[in-house]
Amino acid sequence: MITSYHASRIVGARISECALDPLLDAKCRLAAWKKYKLDGFEIGISPMESSPASILDMRRIETRHIGSEKFVIDKKTGRRILKLRDDDVVRLPMLLESEEVERLIEINDSEHYMRAGLMDTIKMVVNKVGHDAFVAGHAPGQSLNYLCDLRGVERAMKDLFFNPDFAVKTMTMGCLQSIEIGKAMIEAGVDGIYIGDAFASSTYISPAFYEKFAFPLHKKAVDAFHEFGIPVYLHICGNVNPILEKMAETGADAIEPLDPDGGVDLADAKKRIGKRVCLKGNLSTRLLLQGEEGEVKAAARECIGVAAPGGAFILGTGDDIPRDAPFRNVEAVATAAKDFGKYPQHE
């Protein structure tokens, strides 16, 4: 999972610069693809997005100093979207009141994103990569991430308990918007679609709440993108041990990132759902950041040995590659895939 948090280091850019420049962000990811010889990577229409609510329309934003701090401001609403630090970015929730949500949030169709030029960078990436890598369009935020972006985490979680009808209605808006974004990405030429919500993990909500609130929307998105003949992979980080079967039941072609630092045991996941869905990830990001090259390669080899026999495994990281992970450690992952990754597929 390569984003500009790490890829910016390859080209000598600052993360805050990438957050305001989708083209620079794309160049960083292309540089990482070439440096590490990745089989695939993701690209979105905004470098800092995690849900449709946080997409930055570059024509509507400006940077502004408020006191000693620097923010990205939505000129239309006056809301603070990002806080810019020396070489970091903090996304800020919109903190909308419940009555503001329907009034301020509109669903744009896929043609809006094409007409606005928001697919131009993705088309550029697809053309440069050709058939040499799998380019996935980033269209997340089907459920909890969308609600949390609009309301803030604390109020969003309370909505699930005290105002569930509002929560479902709002998250459905997010899901429908993500589908339109994904449709535009498919038209732009991506090979597959990335969906999901970090806040849908059992780190934040119960398995029962996942089944009630997030699962139907993840399945809705998967079904919508499958109508276009496009593979979909579902991202939920953190602890997903209690919901592995439900994640597979969405119909996604792969699930990720199976974070070992979140408590996911790859052998257990392979046993439980390995015949139903492709498994992707499981290499510790903490190890990438703090470990030695040999340790990283050994851990990658262990992942391959556990999950690759019989096929349906993609070696990847347990979440975004850390900003300051040593280049040699990330290169060790690619080397391990090449050296140890030749396993027979299912008949």
pLDDT for position 327: 98
Stretch 124-152: mean pLDDT: 96
Residues 6+ apart with CB under 8 A from 342: none
Residues 6+ apart with CB under 8 A from 41: 2, 29, 32, 33, 133, 134, 135, 136
Burial of 182 per CB tally in 10 Å (0-12, 13-18, 19+): buried
Q: Where are the domains of the chain?
A: 4-58+98-256
pLDDT for position 343: 61
Q: What is the pLDDT of the chain when averaged over all its residues?
A: 93
CATH of 4-58+98-256, one of 3.20.20.210, 3.30.70.1450, 3.40.640.10, 3.40.50.300: 3.20.20.210
pLDDT digits (tens, 9 = 90+) for 246-287: 999 999 999 999 999 999 999 999 999 999 999 999 999 999
Stretch 108-135: mean pLDDT: 94
CA 11/CA 32 separation, integer angstroms: 9
pLDDT over 50 at 124, yes or no:
yes
CA 216/CA 157 separation, integer angstroms: 18
Spatial contact of 341 and 315, defined as CB atoms under 8 Å apart: yes
Pairing of β 313-317 and β 278-283: parallel
Q: Hunting for tokens 């610069």 — which residue is that?
A: 17
335 or 75, which is more confident?
335
pLDDT for position 43: 95
pLDDT for position 87: 84
Dig out the tokens for 51 from the structure: 């849900």
pLDDT for position 341: 85
pLDDT digits (tens, 9 = 90+) for 210-247: 999 999 999 999 999 999 999 999 999 999 999 999 99
What is the torsion angle, in degrees rounded to the nearest 10, for the CA atoms of residue 27, residue 28, residue 31 and residue 36?
Answer: -150
Residues 6+ apart with CB under 8 A from 157: 204, 205
Return the minimum-mean-pLDDT range out of 64-78, 237-251, 319-333. 64-78
CA 316/CA 313 separation, integer angstroms: 9
E strands, the chain, are 40-43, 61-66, 69-74, 80-85, 88-91, 134-138, 192-196, 232-235, 254-256, 278-283, 313-317
pLDDT over 60 at 344, yes or no:
no
Stretch 301-314: mean pLDDT: 95
Q: How many percent of the chain have pLDDT more than 70?
A: 96
Distance of alpha carbon 45 from the chain centroid: 12
Confidence of residue 346 (pLDDT cuts 50, 70, 90): very low
Cα–Cα nearest to 254, from 303, 200, 208, 316? 316
pLDDT over 60 at 88, yes or no:
yes
pLDDT over 50 at 347, yes or no:
no
pLDDT digits (tens, 9 = 90+) for 19-61: 888 899 999 999 999 999 999 999 998 776 777 776 666 667 8
pLDDT for position 58: 66
pTM, two decimals, is 0.94
